[in-house]
Amino acid sequence: MDSRSDKPIVHANTLVEKVLSACCGSIITSLVTTPFDVVKTRIQFQSLNIQNERSRLPIPFQAQCCYNADFCRGPTNPLPYAYSQLNIFNKEISKDLMKFNGTIDAFVKIFRFEGASKLWRGLSPTLLSAFPSTVIYYAGYDALKDWLNDTYIPPNSSLYWYTPMIAGGGARSLSATFISPLELLRTRLQSASQNQSTLDVLTGLKNMVKNEGIISLWRGLTPTLWRDIPFSAIYWMGYETIKTELNKKENVSDSPFTVSFLSGAMSGMIAAFVTTPFDVIKTRKQVEVKQTFSAHGKTKSVGVLSTMRHIIANEGARELFRGLTPRVIKVAPACAIMVSSYEFGKRFFSEKHYNTGILIKSEATV
């Protein structure tokens, strides 16, 4: 057995140590997985652009009897209105992007026509949001899990597996709410065309806040929570379960890093598959501009469940899994790298304190 795994961990990690471990993991994860996130967003957005020519989202509170009337067919659909107002794609780029035929094709065409750097577009807000999000998420998960185990779950209880699920969902809801404006900026940057600069995107967001208020920066939060809370609940429950089983295997348990990496990857794949429909809806919500109703002069946005029903009815259930491949390809290594880096960092600091304690004890006995 590896000598490192033989050492008893006698030091509980401090908050600073957890923060440092989480931040290092988030940097590595963001650098590796951002290209997959860009491709996933572009594929989902391309599908949205194509389907928009075929169907319209239902207008809340609108009588269906006049749906085809001229005064009901104006610029009330949020999606085409978004394209015209935000100019996310110009016509030339739109035609080219509509030719994406899968994940590999998207990688090749973005690299060829826009340059390799565009595969990391949105990296700055990703990193900026990753630090507070990761700290809140991972440190919050540990704190909630320990509190639940100490307060509500008896030792060796069959209910032990509930705690990762509850703690994961709770920690993610806090972190997602906190970084939602940065997530909105990242999605807008990644869905922008090569002719649209970062300044153009920022100007569009500035105008949105001016017209709709600061709360508009949290657009897409509801579908984000629909995606992230179940994702985290499934992920952490799966992670802790898989890790426990792998630790029972002698050929694997000798390497704590390998156990964390494999557990994170397998659990992440399952959670990503289950929650992809909400990721599709989140992307659509974050690139739309709220529609204006001429009758009432108010702005409304189509809800999550209404959007899901509309997609199934007009585009097919398969459309809810648009971008699944790049999402799974991104999420699986992201989860694996992040959680294994976090666990490695915590173990590193724990063993450092352990070794320091041994050294101090040895010097005291001399």
CATH code of the domain covering residue 219: 1.50.40.10
Residue 166 lies in a domain: yes
For the cut 70, the answer to whether the pLDDT of residue 306 exceeds it is yes
Higher-pLDDT residue of 285 and 314 is 314
Find the range with the poorest average confidence among 122-126, 344-348, 359-363.
359-363
Q: Which of 82, 322, 87, 287 is nearest to 185 (CA)?
A: 287
Q: Which residue has the tokens 């057995």?
A: 1
Residue 25, domain member (yes or no): yes
Who wins on pLDDT, 54 or 172?
172
Smallest Cα–Cα separation from 293: which of 72, 84, 83? 72
Q: Would 290 be classed as within a structural domain?
A: yes
Distances (CA, A) of 233 to 33, 114, 167, 229, 270: 22, 37, 8, 6, 11
pLDDT at 149: 86
Q: Is the whole model's pTM more than 0.85, yes or no?
A: no
Q: What is the pLDDT of residue 91?
A: 46
The first and second tokens of residue 329, run together, are 């390809």
Does residue 260 surpass a pLDDT of 90? yes
Mean pLDDT of the chain: 75
Taking only the tens place, the pLDDT of each residue in 92-141 is 455 554 467 878 888 888 888 888 888 888 787 778 777 888 888 998 99
- How far are the Cα atoms of 237, 323, 325, 331 from residue 272, in angstroms, in the given order? 14, 11, 10, 7
User: 2 in a domain, yes or no?
Assistant: no
In a domain, 110, yes or no: yes
What pLDDT is recorded for position 131? Answer: 80
Cβ neighbours, 10 Å, residue 268: 26
CB 264, CB 340: distance < 8 Å: yes
pLDDT score recorded for residue 280 = 87
> In this predicted structure, what is the pLDDT of residue 19?
85
Number of domains observed in the structure of the chain: 1
Q: What is the band of 175 on the pLDDT scale with cuts at 50, 70, 90?
A: very high
Cα–Cα nearest to 280, from 313, 308, 261: 308
Residue span of the structural domain in which 341 resides: 11-365
φ, ψ for residue 299, nearest 5 deg: -105, 135
Is 5 domain-assigned?
no
